[in-house]
């Protein structure tokens, strides 16, 4: 029996070159939910299996099917409204260099780390909810 062919194809990424997250993500205390947001991931080639893991207070939020290619080796992770609580939380962005991630080993995964900051909305009776700035936090740290 022949072994499964699971080679790394030409043009597959070797590093994640840029990650962009919002400066702040609002948390609505009355709903107990943080707002939806996006994470932009740029690599130096195609990522066969990208995923995002957000770690918050001992809980992990895993996103892979919500990550779509946007062209030019850019991928957009759509993070839905969720119960991610206020605070600073670690985000692990990773990609497997093999098409079949189940046949991969540790060396096939490339990882990148950044923090997100979830803040509770401050409500003022005269102006309603205040919103966070729409600026973007660029890449912070790599591992």
On the 0-12 / 13-18 / 19+ scale of CB atoms within 10 A, 41 is: buried
Write down the pLDDT at residue 129: 46
Sorted by sequence, the CB contacts under 8 Å of residue 20 that are 6+ apart come out as: 39, 40, 136, 137, 138, 139
- Which residue did the predictor score with more confidence, 138 or 80? 80
Reduce the DSSP state of residue 118 to 3 states and report it.
Answer: strand
Write down the pLDDT at residue 115: 98
Domain annotation for the chain: domains and CATH numbers: 16-142 (2.60.40.10)
The percent of residues above 70 in pLDDT, for the chain, comes to 79
**Of 14, 16, 13, 12, whose CA–CA distance to 142 is shortest?**
16
**Of 39, 44, 83, whose CA–CA distance to 63 is shortest?**
39
| pLDDT tens per residue across span 53-97 | 999 999 999 999 999 999 999 999 999 999 999 999 999 999 999
pTM: 0.80
| pLDDT tens per residue across span 8-48 | 667 899 999 999 999 999 999 999 999 999 999 999 999 99
Tell me: pLDDT of 100 over 50: yes
How many other CB atoms are found less than 10 A from the CB of residue 48?
18
- Give the pLDDT band of residue 125 (cuts 50, 70, 90): very low
| pLDDT tens per residue across span 113-124 | 999 999 999 765
Output the DSSP codes for 2-66.
PPPP-PPPTTB-S-EEEEEEES-EEEETTTTEEPPEEEEEEESSB-SEEEEEEEETTEEEEESTT
Write down the pLDDT at residue 9: 67
């Amino acid at each position: 029996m022949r072994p499964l062919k699971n080679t790394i194809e030409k043009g597959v990424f070797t590093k994640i070159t840029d990650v962009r997250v919002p400066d702040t993500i609002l948390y609505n205390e009355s709903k107990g939910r943080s707002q939806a947001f996006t994470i932009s991931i740029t690599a130096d080639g195609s990522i066969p299996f990208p995923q995002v893991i957000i770690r918050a207070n001992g809980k992990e939020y895993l996103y892979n099917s919500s990550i779509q290619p946007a062209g030019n080796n850019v991928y957009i992770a759509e993070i839905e409204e969720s119960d991610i609580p206020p605070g600073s939380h670690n985000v692990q962005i990773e990609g497997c260099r093999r098409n079949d991630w189940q046949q991969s080993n540790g060396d096939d995964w490339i990882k990148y780390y950044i923090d997100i900051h979830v803040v509770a909305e401050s409500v003022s009776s005269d102006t309603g909810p205040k919103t966070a700035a729409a600026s973007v936090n660029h890449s912070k740290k790599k591992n």
